[in-house]
Homo-oligomer: A and B are copies of this chain.
């Protein structure tokens, strides 16, 4: 009953949550969010139904966790791209972010599919929509900084409203992400790549 008794429990719990997150990832990538049920998740994670239930009281909690889990991964991926002096130019950074969305491996392909499912759910679930809106707000801040830097460096096409450009880029990221989600397994990525090239060229004025 002493406090440090909880230490192993918490660790265990975190491990379980992690593996549940991964399990949901795999299932959702395979069959969409509709295929995610408590039983299936438990089986995929090698846990009993009870174990999953004890970790997540309701299915909603489960899916919310899965979204957070995915957001963390994507945010981490984006945050690795550093734009600034002694680092990437804006054009390089913008290209890096967009190219990184392309489904060039299984993990990325799976993530694109999961996000498609999350987006769809956000359309009818306020909680999901809010989380994505938060993510957007955060992205807007980062984009504003990047675009400001680009303007300083003369990298930006002249005479454009920075906020509007940020909105356009947000929309473009969503579109690219979702377009990629519905490409078949071995499909060529020429189309998306061309879109990225065009976007970078237009925004930076070449």
Which residues of chain A have a CB within 8 Å of any CB of chain B?
Answer: 29-35, 112-113, 116-117, 119-126, 128-129, 132-133, 157, 159-161, 163-165, 167-168, 170-176, 178-179, 181-184, 191-192, 194-195, 197-199, 201-203, 206
Looking at chain A's contact residues, is the secondary structure mostly helix, strand, loop, or mixed? Answer: helix
Tell me the complex Cα distance, A30–B121, Å.
11
Q: Are A123 and B160 in contact (CB under 8 A)?
A: no
A131, chain B: closest CB distance, angstroms: 10
**Chain B hits for A178, CB < 8 A:** 119, 174-175, 178
Tell me the complex Cα distance, A32–B29, Å.
18
A85, chain B: closest CB distance, angstroms: 26
Tell me the complex Cα distance, A198–B157, Å.
11
**Chain B hits for A183, CB < 8 A:** 129
Known: A32-B121, A120-B181. 13 other contacts (CB 8 A): A32-B120, A32-B125, A33-B120, A113-B124, A119-B181, A123-B182, A164-B194, A167-B194, A167-B195, A168-B198, A171-B179, A171-B195, A174-B175
